[in-house]
Structure 1
Amino acid sequence: MATNAVVARRRLALSLRERRLRAGLTLEEMARRMECSPAKISRMETGRTGVRVADLRMIADVLGLGPADHEAMIELVRQARGREWWHEFADIVPEGSATLFGLEDGAPAISQHSTSIVPGLLQTPEYARALISSVEGITADLVERRLALRLRRQHLLDRPQPPRLDIVLDEAVLCRVIGGAEVMAGQCRHLLARAAAPHVVLRVVPFDAATHAAEGVGFIIFEFDGEEDVMTPVVFAEQLSRSTLIDDPDEAGGYRTALAGARSAALTPERSLELIAARAAGLR
């Protein structure tokens, strides 16, 4: 899967930190050898600032990186400078959304727990328009731009090598009639069509299921599972006015455990699709 600018920046930052720690150097020692401030090293290792090729050359000298490792990191610097498709929508989304789009676009596996609405990657245009239009005071032009953005994000599911998508829905998602019965029935049929693909798994937690740790909490987990990938799972919790990015391994691990609990409480994928099909039929 191609590396976009967001993923490249995070991968580079984490790789710099891992290699410094492997060399047994503190931030202060690294800064002293590079004749800069510890704050600059910290900003590079957290991805808050870009890494210049000149900086990387000094880092390679300090850490004793070989030519192959040095060139691989230079390539990440080049990729991190790229301008991705979502930049044209930067003026209509909350701050930090570019990180969500980049992680979504670059993750080999995406898992999501949704308690109230169908996840954006699986929404029909009609369902998405009904949701977007519900924002008070939104203009028609802004509705169309946000709709275009949402539908553009879905292109990743039709790639030759799409990400693995594992979705757990609360049954309430199917019962909340967004846009009217016809729109909701079409949305249910779309879920069935998407779930027919081998890279998509859909589960529904029924109303009478046992309580689980993810109860009432919606979140997305982006997994990066390459054998030598320094990136750990990243959790994205989307809220009304802002979103929270969680990349601490222990905290992200708690979300993975919660999602496993939701999967255990859910119906099997086969029975889940039967429930969705029955819901679609009942909306006609």
Structure 2
Amino acid sequence: MSKPAPRTEHIQVAATLRRLREDAGATREDAAKLLGCSVSKISDLEVGRSKPKPVELERLLDHYGVQGRDHEELVEFARTSRKRRPNSPYTAAVIPADIRRAVDLQEQALSSVFYSSELIPGMLQTRPYAEAILGWEDANRPDEAAKLLDLRMGRAEVFTRTDRPPLSYWCILGEAALRSGVGGQAVMREQLAHLIEVNSTMDNVVLQVLPLGSGVHSFLGITLTWHRFPAPAPDMLILDSYGRSIIRDSPAEVARGAHHLDLTKAKALGRDESTTFLRRVHRELK
């Protein structure tokens, strides 16, 4: 009998373990030697095919130099993720507050589809645009904002990574996101120029604009991302609202969300038309 697909929480732990190992400069062989196991087991732990025992997780975190709050939060999250979730198509898991782990999740994906009516996604933001967004959030102290900014700027590396296939990314943006005035006119001109360049030169990134006046669609007022992962990990939808992100990972929910994303794509301008639209808005900001 085949093993059940990994749960969303296990993928989050797995993605974070891989990132921590790489940050520590350790190899899978190093981790396998530490635990006295095969390299294939470490690979399974880092893609969510198997779950680390508490003692194994503690030893890996100690070896990777993870201490304090980060250590405690990951151990607690891994512990609670081992509990059985109710079998319901509406089950949702909340991504931990640690934003870094949410980024780890993105880095594990093979492809992602993103929709937002007003906000340009972090992976496509320029530094001045990101600074304006992070600076507006009063909850971010200067030291925290600087770390978040560096983290956000590094997210685009998934588009050109060489250790595995680059992320395939499809982004649908509402026209309001292009006219939001974040950071002022100069910042928006630079941001739009970046979007034009990406949409014109990167084969694995597609940007569509959904003009104002396109009518009713399924995601009015919602920011949504659909992630697809290497088998056997399940696809998932992430709905973002202020201060938290909600995961929908049941097959029925994901299939319905993916269907409505396809309908929204059909309403949006095509790739070439979107680039032309971006250039027009860019000229208007002179």
- Fold agreement, TM-score > 0.5: yes
| 2-structure distance, mates of 1:90, 1:114 | 30
1:54 corresponds to which residue? none
What SS does the aligned partner of 1:47 have? helix
| 2-structure distance, mates of 1:98, 1:245 | 16
* 1:57-206 superposed matches below 5 A: 72=40, 75-77=43-45, 95=97, 97-136=99-138, 138-160=140-162, 161-195=165-199, 196-206=201-211
Q: 1:74 to 1:120 in 2, by over 3 A?
A: closer
- Answering whether residue 207 of structure 2 is matched by residue 220 of structure 1, we say no
Deviation of 1:205 (Å): 0.6
1:207 corresponds to which residue? 212
- The higher radius of gyration belongs to 1
Q: Report the TM-score, using the length of structure 2 for normalisation.
A: 0.68
Q: Deviations over 1:92-115 (max 9, x none)?
A: x96253442222101110110111
Q: 1:277 to 1:234 in 2, by over 3 A?
A: same
Q: 1:187 to 1:216 in 2, by over 3 A?
A: same
Size of the alignment, in residue pairs? 222
Q: Report the TM-score, using the length of structure 1 for normalisation.
A: 0.69
Residue 149 of structure 1 aligns to which amino acid in structure 2? L
Asked if the contact 2:208/2:269 (under 8 Å) is kept, the reply is yes
Deviation of 1:141 (Å): 1.9
Q: Deviations over 1:171-215 (max 9, x none)?
A: 111111100000001000000111120001000111121322222
Gaps of 5+ in 2: 15-37, 49-56, 72-94
Asked if the contact 1:17/1:45 (under 8 Å) is kept, the reply is no
| 2-structure distance, mates of 1:267, 1:235 | 23
- Answering whether residue 10 of structure 2 is matched by residue 47 of structure 1, we say yes
Q: 1:212 to 1:166 in 2, by over 3 A?
A: same
1:17 corresponds to which residue? 4
Asked if the contact 2:106/2:227 (under 8 Å) is kept, the reply is yes
| 2-structure distance, mates of 1:146, 1:127 | 13
Q: Percent identity?
A: 23
Q: 1:233 to 1:219 in 2, by over 3 A?
A: same
| 1-structure distance, mates of 2:233, 2:248 | 12
> C-alpha root-mean-square deviation of aligned residues, in Å?
3.3
Gaps of 5+ in 1: 1-14, 20-43, 52-69
